[in-house]
Structure 1
């Protein structure tokens, strides 16, 4: 009788690991790959469900460097370079499509805001530019050019497949010696003398001197187990899928209306992906799909791209953003607990920044100087003293 091979991800836990990464999403997977590639032995990824089953399984996969501040531009640029070469390193097809990002700008105030951002972006090597309504319409025929004052476009941006990226990173990490354990929930940490000594799970305890929190929307609870304050709040975000359309949509950029946050882009099934950040959404862990947000989407579509307002929403899904108070990520080392690192709170930008963040956590662990200073992204910026350096606010 033939027997199926045992699942290595469900094998017994190792008794110890050099680094334990909590979270099997794109951030945790990127960190695991970069550490293993650098020769760190005994890297262990713990995922309470399956890889990419949380926030990383639900995003729209946008990748861009069009931000308004140098730090987020730098993270986006570094990551774009990695996404473009992902087929070679670590080695997987992530379906990258460099269609560009097109921001629709409704008035001169928005145009001026983006003009200033484009100057910063261009100085850092981002090929973005302000374009006319007519040029924007040529890129995206759904757009009513009379409804905007201008648009901002970068041809280097686009989108990719988040699930494929997570599994590509994890496969490569395993080849390099990392271990992944699924269906394994963290239940606590053992600390002694102000440092991490072990991770407790529902499948046993693992001795370690280093933990990386990459738990996304669940990071606040995980940090609290170790006595580390990570101000991350879950917030539901939803998208709709039109299904195949006839005639098939033209190939368009990832198009986003700055004022309303309405966005849309091509779906690989021959339709469109539709989305909007509904300002009425209350924080929480609910991940059920509902259609109430389609009303503000349709209102925004009527203003900018009327043909979209009547398209069917045949299916959709909901996922969680991991929000911080200033909508910037939390990346760094905990000051209160030695050996506790964190990379979380990306507020919708986790997928697009994941390659750069994997590099940074690797370098922090190895006491190297990262390619960019992430000191302003320390969780210490939210401490009551106000002495911590804060990141520059990004408008985009």
Structure 2
């Protein structure tokens, strides 16, 4: 993108660290609201961290009301993305389908669906037969029930990053790519400057949207952001003939194995429970055996499908699998939006609005104080999300 540069201005009102979907969404929403002199700093290319990996699920099917509201508001923004900010993100509203194989899972999802429905989400519980009709790959053997919401789906995160970034650049936002933050200056209870490998920026506000790298940035400001990096991998099948049916984003909840349409084949994924923390993003296809074993019973036709390529990316995981969103107590001009634990892309539009409002000291559309970073030390705990994919 031609508006990107490796030069940093000497001063800025707002410095956003992280050029993924969260950082570009925040930049766009701030600029749209009339905030000037915004700089986005990205250590690689825009979207080269977690946002560049094409899982792209968008949904409002969560168990916690706050996550439901963030997902639902974001879904509406994704649906309107062609008009605002104006880009095609290849949104495919095929729905999300959670396959449930125990009475306890079913009871938990029934509770979640009631909460979702009370907040306007059209999710519903369905039986094995209807689940198979929606996704012919699903076997009904051992399937107790499923949860389905037709307005969920998937899009292309890389296109969303580009869409937000181009609109933000048109509004005057500067993007410094291949630029690494090396330190922060603090005076009293304020951050006064950001040091990078391409120069120093005096600034009034710093916003951390650095994903899996956020703990390091927070430490520079004396703010504890408990985010750990965990590798997640996915794979693409060879082109399928006849073509795959158009199916929901389908998840075997017990194993976390998931799959959905992707170009002329399917995308496969699974959360490896033995994956160690770390920043390694090497794709190692041996994890696919875990996926094949998991789907052997739930979607047996997938177990023998040929795969041709894949990706590895990082989840930014917090202790309770909920986000960190807010303003630090000190330094008071250090804001953060990170730790989304796999939900960052789908929540990015709503969080962009919220960070805009926190910066401008407006009241956001929803109270996100339960997501403050100090909840783990103050004892104010959020409820862990049951849907972690």
Shorter-chain TM-score: which interval?
Answer: over 0.9
Residues in 2 aligned to 1:91 and 1:242: alpha-carbon distance in whole angstroms: 31
Could you tell which deviates more after superposition, 346-355 or 222-231?
222-231
Could you tell which deviates more after superposition, 288-297 or 316-325?
288-297
Instruction: Indicate the residue corresponding to 1:393 in structure 2.
Output: 384
Match 1:17 to one of 9, 12, 34: 12
Residues in 2 aligned to 1:135 and 1:51: alpha-carbon distance in whole angstroms: 41
SS of 2:286's partner is coil
The residue correspondences of 1:328-339 to structure 2 (distance < 5 A) are: 328-339=322-333
1:352 aligns with 2:346: yes
Match 1:265 to one of 244, 260, 267: 260
1:301 aligns with 2:292: no
1:279 aligns with 2:270: no
- The answer on whether the counterparts of 1:78 and 1:356 sit within 8 Å (CA) in structure 2 is yes
Could you tell which deviates more after superposition, 165-174 or 138-147?
138-147
Change (3 A) 1:106 1:342: same
1:310-359 deviations in Å (ceiling 9; x for gaps)? 01121111000000011000000111212000000000000000000000
Residues in 2 aligned to 1:10 and 1:104: alpha-carbon distance in whole angstroms: 46
Match 1:170 to one of 165, 173, 180: 165
- The answer on whether the counterparts of 1:52 and 1:163 sit within 8 Å (CA) in structure 2 is yes
Shift of 1:130: 0.5
Instruction: Indicate the residue corresponding to 1:141 in structure 2.
Output: 136
Residues in 2 aligned to 1:302 and 1:353: alpha-carbon distance in whole angstroms: 32
Shift of 1:59: 4.1
Q: Larger % of strand: which?
A: 2
1:189 aligns with 2:184: yes
- The answer on whether the counterparts of 1:240 and 1:275 sit within 8 Å (CA) in structure 2 is yes
Shift of 1:12: 2.9
Instruction: Indicate the residue corresponding to 1:70 in structure 2.
Output: 65
Residues in 1 aligned to 2:360 and 2:51: alpha-carbon distance in whole angstroms: 26
Residues in 2 aligned to 1:374 and 1:11: alpha-carbon distance in whole angstroms: 34
1:162-183 deviations in Å (ceiling 9; x for gaps)? 0000010010001111111111
SS of 1:99's partner is coil
Gaps of at least 5 residues in structure 2 are none
Match 1:235 to one of 230, 245, 250: 230
Instruction: Indicate the residue corresponding to 2:364 in structure 1.
Output: 370
Alpha-carbon RMSD across the aligned residues, in angstroms, is 1.1
- TM-score, normalised to structure 1, is 0.96
1:193-232 deviations in Å (ceiling 9; x for gaps)? 1211011001111110100000000001111111111110
Shift of 1:390: 2.5
1:317 aligns with 2:311: yes
- The answer on whether the counterparts of 1:59 and 1:319 sit within 8 Å (CA) in structure 2 is no
SS of 1:92's partner is coil
1:8-45 deviations in Å (ceiling 9; x for gaps)? 42253211111000000000000000000000010110
1:89-134 deviations in Å (ceiling 9; x for gaps)? 0000000000000000002111111111100000000000001100
Residues in 2 aligned to 1:175 and 1:9: alpha-carbon distance in whole angstroms: 12
Shift of 1:393: 2.5
- The answer on whether the counterparts of 2:320 and 2:385 sit within 8 Å (CA) in structure 1 is no
Gaps of at least 5 residues in structure 1 are 1-5
Instruction: Indicate the residue corresponding to 1:3 in structure 2.
Output: none
Change (3 A) 1:11 1:264: closer
1:117 aligns with 2:112: yes
